[in-house]
Amino acid sequence: MTNKLQSSKRQQGATYWGAKTPDGYGGGTWPTPVFLDPDTDTGVRWEEKGELFLDKTGAQVLSNAVVYPGTDLALGGYLGEGDQTASSDPTVNGVTAYEIRRIEKIPDRKAAKFLRRVFL
C-alpha cells in the first residue's frame, strides 16, 4: 500500500494524548494533547467497529474502534475523534477518548513506508 493511498484514506482528525508520565507517587501527568490534522500526513481513518485482538497481556478483547493514523502513537496513550485539544486529560467527563491497547506497524515491500493500525 503506497503512502499516497494511505493519505487519501486518512481524511479525519483526531486528538492524541501520549501515555502518562509517572510522577513517582502512583499518579502521572498527561502530555499536551496533539491534533492529528487530516490536512497533513498525520490525519487518521477512524472505523467504529468491534474487532477481536490480543492485548498486551495476551488476553483476547474486542475493540471499540480501529484507527489508521499517519504517524506513530504509543501504547497506553489515548485517542479521541475530532479536535479535543482543549482538554488536558482524556479520562475526564465530557471527553470521548479511548486507550490505545494494541499497535500494528506494517511496512510496504521496500520497508520505506508503513501502514499503522491502532486498536482502541
pLDDT of residue 42: 86
Over 60: is that where the pLDDT of 5 sits?
A: no
30-53: pLDDT as tens digits: 999 999 998 888 899 999 999 999
The whole model's pTM is what? 0.86
Over 90: is that where the pLDDT of 14 sits?
A: yes
CA 3, CA 47: separation in Å to the nearest integer? 19
Over 70: is that where the pLDDT of 1 sits?
A: no
pLDDT of residue 4: 45
